[in-house]
């Protein structure tokens, strides 16, 4: 499908800009007019992490005139495996500031606007206003649904990407898109593809499941490619298409995504007519896990005391680590035994639990252990508890000599 250019051309390019963008200018499809459109474009990138890093660098290199960065986090050493816009000297620095400094080195002709705040219902519409296009580099479902809805209400195209381990996806969501002839493109939104979020705890985040660093570059560059096409009106952007990449098999697939007439947001009878409670809609953990954890969550300080009592013989319990074996190799709480969450889901873990001892469970941050706690309590271990904050809290508060991840 052919779409009109999203942005009008800037009045002119300077001599320096002509030199810089000459390889664009000699492409007939881009040319002087296309480059002027990029100069006049205002693009907001949400997140300066795995996807945001390559997206920001390539958007800046391409000559997008104004780049907004919505990011509230700080650079951590574990980011550097994939977040290539940051370097060793940036550790501890604001990611937004670090990204701005890298962009200034890459292209001083780009204006960078920082939004150093967590996006929420109170500020997302105000932050988005004035931008031509949104590039989403977030890693959680609640924010994706909020971004999709806010972009829809403002009529802004939304370039989405997602990564996990070796798999990536990308698409352009633009329900208000019109074709060159002025007719509706009948394009879908994110909710047309994913009407409901996955069950809480079903899909681990990159922080829990991991991601191949270079996968970020593959999907981030696809997002920039699509952004350039939409901004300049060239090619056939991924509107109504889902691009899927399997890095292990080196396999690309492209699926058609149709507009859902029953979509809660952009359908014929919408039920989502304003921003909603996205945390409640997506749920960090299931209701069963939340109920199980209520009154059955201990701190790492309490666990440390319990472990000392176990050493002294005045207390007995089994400490179960429900992470994966590769995580257990990175760090661990002394005295724990490894029984991965998957064994609880298939029921085999219950055979390994003693019936005469209290069961204490932990994971990386407390999400997986809360989910498994619900299973254990349902099996009759009424005094079972889990450790809030998991091994991350243990390393930060009790044993900083261990590595974190």
Catalytically active residues, by annotation:
206, 363
Do the beta carbons of residue 377 and residue 386 sit within 8 Å?
no
CA distance 78 to 210: 11
The Cα 211–Cα 279 span in angstroms is 24
In terms of Cβ atoms closer than 10 Å to its own Cβ (0-12, 13-18, 19+), residue 105 is exposed
Cα distance between residue 128 and residue 364, in whole Å: 34
Phi/psi region, residue 166 (left: phi>0; alpha: psi -120 to 50; beta: rest), is alpha
Tell me the two tokens of residue 174. 């633009």
Full 3-state SS string of 202-228: CCCCHHHHCECHHHHHHHHHHHHHHHH
Instruction: Check: CB of residue 279 under 8 Å from CB of residue 217.
Output: no
Closest residue by Cα to residue 139 from 265, 60, 53, 67: 53
């Amino acid at each position: 499908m052919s779409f009109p250019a999203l942005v009008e051309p800037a009045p002119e390019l300077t001599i320096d800009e002509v030199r810089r963008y000459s390889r664009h200018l000699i492409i007939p499809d881009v040319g002087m007019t296309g480059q002027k459109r990029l100069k006049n474009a205002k693009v907001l990138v949400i997140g300066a992490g795995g996807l945001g890093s390559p997206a920001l660098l390539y958007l800046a290199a391409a000559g997008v005139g104004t780049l907004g960065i919505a990011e509230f986090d700080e650079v951590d050493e574990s980011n550097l495996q994939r977040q290539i816009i940051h370097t060793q000297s940036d550790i501890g620095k604001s990611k937004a500031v670090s990204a701005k400094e890298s962009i200034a080195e890459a292209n001083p002709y780009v204006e960078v606007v920082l939004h150093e705040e967590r996006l929420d219902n109170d500020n997302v519409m105000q932050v988005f206003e004035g931008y031509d296009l949104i590039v989403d580099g977030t890693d959680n479902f609640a924010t994706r649904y909020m971004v999709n809805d806010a972009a829809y209400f403002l009529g802004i195209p939304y370039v989405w990407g997602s990564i996990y381990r070796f798999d990536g996806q990308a698409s352009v969501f633009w329900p208000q898109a019109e074709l060159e002839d002025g007719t509706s493109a009948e394009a879908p939104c994110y909710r047309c593809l994913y009407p409901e979020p996955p069950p809480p705890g079903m899909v681990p985040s990159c922080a829990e499941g991991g991601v191949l660093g270079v996968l970020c570059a593959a999907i981030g560059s696809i997002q920039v490619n699509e952004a350039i096409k939409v901004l300049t009106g060239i090619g056939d952007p991924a509107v109504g298409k889902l691009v899927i990449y399997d890095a292990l098999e080196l396999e690309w697939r492209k699926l058609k995504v149709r507009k859902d007439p029953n979509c809660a947001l952009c359908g014929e009878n919408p039920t989502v007519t304003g921003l909603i409670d996205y945390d409640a809609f997506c749920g960090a953990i299931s209701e069963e896990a939340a109920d199980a954890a209520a009154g059955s969550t201990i701190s790492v300080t309490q666990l440390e005391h319990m472990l000392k009592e176990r050493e002294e013989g005045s207390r007995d319990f089994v400490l179960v680590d429900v992470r994966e074996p590769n995580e257990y190799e990175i760090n661990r709480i002394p005295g724990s035994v490894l029984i991965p969450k998957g064994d609880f889901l298939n029921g085999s873990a219950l055979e390994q639990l003693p019936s005469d001892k209290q069961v204490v469970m932990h994971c990386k941050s407390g999400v997986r252990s809360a989910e498994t706690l619900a299973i254990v309590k349902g099996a009759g271990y009424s005094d079972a508890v889990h450790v809030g904050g998991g091994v991350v809290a243990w390393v930060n508060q009790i044993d900083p000599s261990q590595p974190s991840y």
